[in-house]
């Protein structure tokens, strides 16, 4: 199956075949914390520490991800993303080797290193996947395939890791992950697939975000120059079906060298990008907030124990994967960025209604339906955010996707706090109201982005102007 996808370009299978090492790298990045969470009881016992301390250490990984993501975001457009991804995998491998020691201090280092490594790995491989294709529609689809793969890994990793652990324990799982991480790092560093090289921010007179076929090999760091105005890109000409060309930018006479802070200003000045980054933070806050209390909610309301709740958790994960995968396919067919933003707004409104129902209902069947709807709605929203960020930030994708990852880490930290505050004030219904308000705010921001994109050049690379 190598025919055209929706409208033009490769099929989903064709995209996956071109980016499979990146999909594997993204999946592998989720394994260390999955091992830590699944075997936390055994890990706590072997370390001799309290469960509260070991749970707190897991939270330090999110703090490290937020800090490193903010610090390293502009660097992903000023250095080889392939090298960044390989280095991140090496850090993750080292963290797994450190975790095998099983002491409290080794676990502290493990959590910090894994958090730091994944916050570089995820945006690097997402940007690399997007840059393998010339038209923004296919680029966005490639990035959503990466996120869908990560979601599927989160669902399947736990049962897949449990079997080998019966033979060699959690230390064996970590040791195997360390070996695989190093192997994939070497594969990424040496893979020669003739892909596009990332040039970084454009030099004067070349236009922002333009890429060129520089021959086979890995990405090379760009000259670190970009248009200071950050006014976005303009599509010149048109792209015929099947051509899969990358849209070119109008050369800018005021291009100037930029530094670290300048790269952030340029990325945040791209049309629609700041708004969608805020949508991502708010959406993650609401979704992770309900996940933090989901097990307790089902136990208190419906007397669902850990064994049965694992099926509820799987339901949430599977619907999220399906929403992300098929939502990404739908979004690829939308030729106007404002339509993608409206899709995000409507999907997140469905999520707001679902979270209200979930925390208010006293019927198990209704709660299960709301859990499924919540996962699917947030997945479509996440796919829309990724698609818009990738389409609107060519030449700055590393920076923008890294900022998105840092924002999601912030949302993870904020989610439990919002749900907890709502529960303290109004019980389970109060928690639902609090999370729903955050979700509605995300819908308002997405709608504002949709309005702001009216009249701008089509993000799908077909040379049309949004009307």
Residues 168 and 266 in one domain: no
pLDDT of 214 higher than 70 = no
Q: Is residue 419 part of a domain?
A: yes
CA distances in angstroms from 334 to 16, 146, 460, listed in the order given: 20, 19, 8
Q: What is the pLDDT of residue 204?
A: 34
Residue 105, pLDDT > 70, answer yes
> Torsion over CA of 431, 380, 463 and 9, rounded to 10 degrees?
160
Higher pLDDT, 436 or 196: 436
Note down the domain range covering 266.
Answer: 260-467
What digits encode the pLDDT tens for the residues 244-292?
A: 434 333 333 333 446 677 778 888 888 899 999 999 999 999 998 898 8
**Whole-angstrom Cα distance, residue 460 to residue 467?**
14
Sign, Cα dihedral of 160, 163, 167, 168: positive
Q: Could you read off the pLDDT of 333-385 as tens digits, one per residue?
A: 887 888 999 999 999 999 999 999 999 999 999 999 999 999 999 999 999 99
Q: Are 226 and 208 in contact, with CB atoms under 8 Å apart?
A: yes
Contacts of 183 (CB under 8 A, 6+ apart): none
Dihedral sign for Cα atoms in the order 436, 437, 438, 443:
positive
pLDDT in tens, 5-26: 444 568 888 898 899 889 999 9
Q: CATH number for the domain including 416?
A: 1.20.1250.20
Instruction: Convert the pLDDT of each residue in 61-91 to its tens digit.
Output: 888 888 888 888 888 878 888 999 999 999 9
Last residue of a domain, one of 176, 191, 206: 191
Q: Give how far Cα 18 sits from Cα of 128, 129, 142, 199, 403, Å.
A: 11, 8, 9, 20, 26
Best CA proximity match to 231, nearest among 432, 457, 463? 457
**Domain co-membership, 181 together with 281:** no
Q: Do 43 and 135 have their domain in common?
A: yes
Q: Residues for the chain: how many in total?
A: 467
CA trace torsion 272, 273, 279, 283 (10° rounding): 140
User: Per the structure, how many domains does the chain have?
Assistant: 2
In a domain, 122, yes or no: yes
Which of 174-188, 237-251, 373-387 shows the lowest mean pLDDT across its residues? 237-251
User: Would residue 393 count as lying in a domain?
Assistant: yes
């Amino acid at each position: 199956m190598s025919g055209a996808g929706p409208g033009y370009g490769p099929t989903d299978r064709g995209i996956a075949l071109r980016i499979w090492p990146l999909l594997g790298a993204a999946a592998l990045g989720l394994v260390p914390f999955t091992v830590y969470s699944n075997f936390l009881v055994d890990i706590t016992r072997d370390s001799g520490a309290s469960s509260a301390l070991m749970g707190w250490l897991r939270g330090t990984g999110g703090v490290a991800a937020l800090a490193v993501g903010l610090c390293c975001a502009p660097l992903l457009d000023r250095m080889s993303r392939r090298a960044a991804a390989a280095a991140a995998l090496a850090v993750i491998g080292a963290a797994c080797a450190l975790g095998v020691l099983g002491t409290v201090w080794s676990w502290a280092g493990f959590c910090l290193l894994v958090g730091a490594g994944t916050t570089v790995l995820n945006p690097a491989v997402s940007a690399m996947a997007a840059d393998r294709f010339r038209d923004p529609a296919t680029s966005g689809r490639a990035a959503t395939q990466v996120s869908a793969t990560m979601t599927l890994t989160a669902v399947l990793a736990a049962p897949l890791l449990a079997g080998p652990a019966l033979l060699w324990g959690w230390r064996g799982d970590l040791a195997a992950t360390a070996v695989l991480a190093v192997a994939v790092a070497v594969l990424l560093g040496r893979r020669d697939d003739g892909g596009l090289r990332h040039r970084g921010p454009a030099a004067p007179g070349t236009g922002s975000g333009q890429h060129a076929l520089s021959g086979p090999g890995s990405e090379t760091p760009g000259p670190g120059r970009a248009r200071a105005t950050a006014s976005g890109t303009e599509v010149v000409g048109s792209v015929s079906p099947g051509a899969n060309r990358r849209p070119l930018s109008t050369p800018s006479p005021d291009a100037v060298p930029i530094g670290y802070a300048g790269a952030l200003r340029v990325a945040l000045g791209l049309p629609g990008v700041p708004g969608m980054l805020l949508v991502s933070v708010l959406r993650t806050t609401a979704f992770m907030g309900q996940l933090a209390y989901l097990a307790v909610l089902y136990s208190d309301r419906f007397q669902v124990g850990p064994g049965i709740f694992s099926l509820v958790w799987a339901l949430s994960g599977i619907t999220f994967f399906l929403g992300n995968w098929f939502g990404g396919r739908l979004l690829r067919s939308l030729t106007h960025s404002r339509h993608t933003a409206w899709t995000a707004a409507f999907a997140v409104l469905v999520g707001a209604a679902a979270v209200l129902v979930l925390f208010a209902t006293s019927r198990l069947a209704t709660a299960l339906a709301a859990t499924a709807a919540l996962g699917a709605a947030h997945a479509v929203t996440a796919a829309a955010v990724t698609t818009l960020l990738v389409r609107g930030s060519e030449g700055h994708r590393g920076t923008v996707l890294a900022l998105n990852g840092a924002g999601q880490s912030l949302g993870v930290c904020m989610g439990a706090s919002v749900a907890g505050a709502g529960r303290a004030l109004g019980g389970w219904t109060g928690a639902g109201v609090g999370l729903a308000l955050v979700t509605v705010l995300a819908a308002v921001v997405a709608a504002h982005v949709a309005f702001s994109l009216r009249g701008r050049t089509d993000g799908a690379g077909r040379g049309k102007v949004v009307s």
